[in-house]
Amino acid sequence: MRNSAFVQYLDIANVIKTELKSVKQKIFKEKNINLKQQKCIEDLKFQLKNQQIIESERDQLRQELKNIRQQKKESASSINVQEYVHQIQELKDQVIEKDKTVKMVQDLYFMRSTEFTDEIETLKNEKSDLHSKLQSQDNSVKQLTEELQNLRHENYMLSSSQNQQRPNYNNRHYNNRRGGRFR
């Protein structure tokens, strides 16, 4: 019965060991997910920088447009005016296109940052859950180890007390008193 209890404790220890490996794999997986998310964040930062460059170009185009209007006022030539009107229209179209691109990038950035915030919160919750499971399993392993040591000590005490109680048949004096032979 004690051997079956010992085997049972060994089985429990193996199950706990397997669960601990599983938890370690989950933590490793979460670390990989975090690295991927950090890469996505870096990509979004890069896109944001590009957006800022686009906004800077848009401001330059607006300034150029303003300069062209100023030049238009200064020059009275009707031929140049038509050409400038055409250029201004082209610049306006470019500004509109770039504004649309900036708006789209901003919307994407907002969506991704919201997703990342949700994912980070989920990961934090999962991490705390895993941490508490690890602590409870660690406590269980410690408790099982203490029980195993107690059982080993009890087994040792029982075997040593059985050895002391068992008569020694190889003892010559004992065999002579019983009329026995040497063995």
DSSP 139-175: HHHHHHHHHHHHHHHHHHHHHHHHHHHS--TT-HHHH
Q: What integer pLDDT is reported at residue 146 of this predicted model?
A: 95
Q: What integer pLDDT is reported at residue 164 of this predicted model?
A: 78
How far apart CA 86 and CA 88 sit, in angstroms, is 5
Q: What integer pLDDT is reported at residue 183 of this predicted model?
A: 46
Taking a C-beta distance cutoff of 8 angstroms, is the pair 51, 100 a contact? Answer: no
Could you tell me where the DSSP H helices lie in the chain?
2-74, 78-165, 172-177
Amino acid identity for residue 32 in this structure: N
Residue 94 in tokens: 């470019």
Which residue ranges in the chain fall short of pLDDT 70? 1-2, 75-81, 166-183
pTM over 0.85? The answer is no
Taking a C-beta distance cutoff of 8 angstroms, is the pair 175, 182 a contact? Answer: yes
Q: Over pLDDT 90: what percentage of the chain?
A: 47
* Residue 160: closest CA among 169, 171, 152: 152
